[in-house]
Structure 1
Amino acid sequence: MISRTEVGRMAALFLRAETVLPLGETNAVWSPGAVRIEDGTIVEAGPAGAVSSAGAAEIDVGRAVLVPGLCNAHTHLYSSLARGLPPRGPDPRTFREILETLWWRWDKLLDPDTVALSAEAGLLESARRGVTAVNDHHASPSAIDGSLDRIAEAAGAIGLRAALAYETTDRDGFAKRDQGLAENARFAARAAADRSGRIAATIGAHASLTLGEESLAELVRLAALTGRPLHLHMDEGPEDGEGARRGGDRSTVGRLARAGVLRPGTIVAHAVHVDDRDIEILAETKTVVVHNPRSNGGNAVGRAPLGALLRAGVRLALGTDGMSGAVAIDAAVAGAVHRMAEKDRAIPFDLPFRLAAERNAEVASALFGIRYGSIAPGFAGDVVAYAYRPPTPIRPENVAAHWMLGISESPVTHVVVSGEPVLVEGTFVRVDEEEILDRTRAAADRLRNAFHA
């Protein structure tokens, strides 16, 4: 197996698999297939005999299916160590109570070390789920300064791509808000100077319900100054719209549009409580809406009107909202729940595949300034091997069905990011997974005790 010292020395990598599915603009099936990656970019891909291995390190993933890596378009790595946290007091009755009794207590407990450990735990799980890029939305009010660097360092150590933002909010006062703005600005400058395509910045904001007019204006100004997109929550619960209407706006979407927040590139998570006019505005402004179905179900906030969003041409993507690293599971939930609940033929059978494999690739391409989501020359060298044994032949016309119902549910054996191995034969080659998880479990216990103190 490739050693940790060998990883950084690879100028070229050749991978061979029993089946390669390039995805992207083609539904080709190469059996066997191969890909050659040089300096982080795919230079050759196709039937195994047509791809050169000369001078390259070689990995044969064996009886597996090789596909492009996935992007998680909205997550919260800081929530990784809260998994299994017992509730504190009675179950929350509203979404705001969930925020106040869980997340707005939890994020204040994080220090620089637990910020890093949370990121490591979430990124390890992401890689094991076939994710090679994450769009993370971070909050740690007691440790704002430098927090995005700690997450970037964790991503660099493990080997994944990470687009990062700090959650600017008024909920802890203007001094903390200004710290959040400064952290976004500082990290945006760092990411702009990085030429690896491995880190990127967005300008983070919590949600309309915790941001005043001045704060929205500052966020819009910072996004324009840095040239980076805004990334925020929108209409996850009814509280966003109620606050906007109290302030004289028709809706949350109306308020954010008036403030200049909604525009091409802006990423909003959820959009559960939107109406037809809101949807028209989201389409007109070319705002990206990231659907997070498992989180919406877990918080009992409702479900986004996926059929209406699709018909209107809204730019959709898929996230986990920090529930886990398994964006493919959210894809499956989105397809099943919405087709069952809405009985809407505008929601196609292959929606999970289209969202996770195609729409999220568009988000990653825009965030990192690379071509992402296809095994083809010129695209980023991010590929994942799944130990999938198809019960029926994989053909161009059924690639989506095999991806949804088999490939994405199978164990991940290999992960390569920018041409560098991250996971080989089920083992991380850059970090000691068990040593990290020993530390994350100990930290989770400490945080749990502090949460319940």
Structure 2
Amino acid sequence: MLLIGNGHLITRQKENAFIENGAVAIDGKTIKEVGQTKDLKAKYPEADFIDAKGGVIMPGFINMHNHIYSTFARGLSINGYNPKNFMDILEGQWFKIDSEMNNHTTLQSGRVSYLESIKNGVTTMFDHQASYGEVSGSLEQLSNAADEMGIRTCLCYEVSDRNGVKPAEEAIEENVRFINAAKARKDDMQKAMMGMHAAFTVSDETFEKARKVTPSDIGFHIHVAEDIADVKDSLHKYNKPIVNRLYDLDILGSKSMLGHCIYINPHEMKLIKDTDTMVVTNPESNMGNAVGCPPIIRMFNEFNIMCGLGTDGYTQDITESYKVGNIIHKHHLADPTVAWAEIPAMLFDNNAAMANRYFDTKLGVLEPDAAGDVIIVDYHAATPMNESNFNSHILFGMNGANVTDTIVAGDVRMRNREVVGIDQEEVYASAREEAVKLWNRINK
């Protein structure tokens, strides 16, 4: 048994959400009990004790939309790359990167991304893979990396017609293969979705091929209306908005997740709500790509859509997305009252609810039988911290670098900022070596 105590305990329970000098007892892969440190130490005297030393103990973070393959874009300079818009960014950078990714590159990118997730307190990650340099077996590489680092993950491969019919079919097959592999696991650590790139790079025929082989309990993970060009493409080719097209193709549903949704109209929002489809917003990425600010506050408040938060490959530190999400909507709407409640609800409540549409073990809360996914944050408040304001303390006082300990499914993955059982220097050295090879292929 593991006991983590002597900290400000944020449980995320609807009642008893905050315990001063609290502790959490983990038995096996799940939580046994939460309470006062003194009480649980007396009750479980033989438990291995991790001392939070007055810091904050809380559930591990969940990242609902990421791109592991973006790992090696850090520091990359591409010959002739001078983007003027989002389509230039896709074609000049991301499509070039993924076209040169082989399985070894994918493995090394996964090792770094999952390692840095652990270091930033992210215990569950939903990823959207692209590696058209080598499609087959790529999700297995990410699965191996996730197992090595001991993190929960839900994987998919982005199907696209941008490289032709055969690669698109190979991408569908890769999704199906991993869907079957994930279903065969019994540990509730890895799940799968059917990944699609974006509507403007996927034909109706390819959507129908994917739909035909996707099990009924598996949804689609797809980018939607990230740029106005996506909207124009749908209207021009299909004479309908993107979400309407996805509805007609039977892509929407409670297991499906739409990334971004920046340029959608109220009718599309209603379709998303009526089909109980999920939406993930990625504020840092949207600002970085200069694609606009999504109407996520309206989706959340007016349409009651299940909206979550992701990083879109921009970072492994989702507290950054929390901070940017808090200010981008205030700036965009010129309203200082918005985003205070909506963004933390997406990150802390909805991300867990969305993830639990796939994972069986209850996530995002510290309570009996919930996942033993716990982090300790080295944060000592300069002002009172209590049940009514702990989100504000996270927003303004913490970031991923403050995480000292990360426990996933009851296993200690990082202790006192040292990742357990992993040679970090080897991981980063191997990544740097692989990055040079990838960069040379891109700029050949």
2:242 is aligned, of 235, 240, 252, to: 252
Letter of the 2:67 counterpart: H
Choose from 145, 169, 190 the match for 1:178.
Answer: 169
Identify the residue that residue 41 of structure 1 maps to in structure 2.
Answer: 30
Conserved in 2, the CA contact under 8 Å of 1:17 and 1:33? yes
Deviations 1:310-365 (A, max 9, x none): 22111100111101101111111111110121135783413332221111111222
The 5 A counterparts of 1:372-411 are 372-408=363-399, 411=402
| One-letter identity of the residue aligned with 2:422 | V
- TM-score between the two structures when normalised by the length of structure 2: 0.96
- Cα distance in structure 1, aligned partners of 2:70 and 2:186: 29
Identical counterparts, % of pairs: 29
CA distance in structure 2 between the partners assigned to 1:391 and 1:346 by the alignment: 24
SS in structure 2 at match of 1:367? coil
The 10-residue stretch of structure 1 (84-93 or 41-50) with the greater mean CA deviation from structure 2: 84-93
State the partner residue of 1:60: 51
Corresponding position: 1:333 with 2:332:
no
The alignment status of 1:360 with 2:351, answered yes or no, reads yes
Given the alignment of the two structures, is residue 156 of structure 1 paired with residue 147 of structure 2, yes or no? yes
Mean CA deviation greater in 154-163 or 241-250? 241-250
1:129–1:326: 8 Å Cα contact kept in structure 2? yes
1:82-110, CA deviations, whole angstroms, 9 ceiling, x for partnerless residues?
A: 11212431421222221111111101111
* 1:184 Cα deviation after fit: 0.7
Q: Work out whether 1:203 is the aligned partner of 2:194.
A: yes
Amino acid at match of 2:239: D
CA contact (8 A) 2:306 2:354 kept: no
Letter of the 1:281 counterpart: L
Give the Cα separation in 2 of the matches to 1:352 and 1:86. Answer: 34
1:240 to 225, 230, 249: 230
Pairs within 5 Å for 1:17-416: 17-26=6-15, 28-51=17-40, 52-223=43-214, 225=215, 227-310=217-300, 311-344=302-335, 347-408=338-399, 411-416=402-407
Unpaired runs of 5+ in structure 2? none
Cα deviations by residue, 1:387-441 (Å, 9 ceiling, x for unpaired): 0010112111112211222234661100000000000000000211111011111
Give the SS at the match of 1:294.
helix
Asked if structure 2 preserves the Cα contact closer than 8 Å seen for 1:125 and 1:324, the reply is: no
Q: CA deviation at 1:174?
A: 1.5
- Give 3-state SS (helix, strand or coil) of 1:247's partner: helix
Matched, 1:14 2:3: yes
Contact 1:138 1:165 in 2 (8 A): yes
CA RMSD for the aligned pairs?
1.6
Task: Output the amino acid matched with 1:73.
Answer: M
SS of the residue 1:49 aligns to: helix
SS at match of 2:24: strand
Q: Is the 8 A contact 2:325 2:339 kept in 1?
A: no
Report the CA distance between 1:58 and its aligned residue.
Answer: 2.5
- Provide the rounded CA distance (Å) in 2 between the counterparts of 1:139 and 1:164: 11
Paired with 1:173 and 1:426, the residues of 2 have a C-alpha distance of: 45
Aligned-residue offset at 1:117: 0.5
Structure 1's consecutive aligned runs of 4 or more residues displaced over 6 angstroms after TM superposition are: none
Q: Following the alignment from structure 1 to structure 2, what is the Cα–Cα distance between the partners of residues 159 and 430? A: 10
- Give, in angstroms, the shift of residue 443 of structure 1: 1.4
Q: Within 1, Cα distance between the matches of 2:356 and 2:238?
A: 37
Would you say the 8 A contact 1:157–1:430 is kept in 2? no
More displaced 10-residue stretch of structure 1: 245-254 or 410-419: 245-254
Q: Alignment partner of 1:31: what SS?
A: strand
Distance 2:31 2:81 in 1: 53
Once the two structures are TM-superposed, the CA of residue 31 in structure 1 deviates from its matched residue by 2.6
Give 1:44 shift: 0.7
Bigger drift between 397-406 and 111-120 goes to: 397-406
Higher alpha-carbon deviation: 135-144 or 80-89: 80-89
Query: Equivalent residue for 1:422?
Result: 413
CA distance, structure 1, for counterparts of residue 426 and residue 262 of structure 2: 40
3-state DSSP of counterpart to 2:18: coil
Secondary structure of the corresponding residue to residue 376 of structure 2: strand
Q: Partners of 1:208 and 1:19 in 2: how far apart? A: 45
Query: Partners in 1 of 2:402 and 2:62 — Cα distance?
Result: 17
Conserved 8 A contact 1:115-1:140: yes
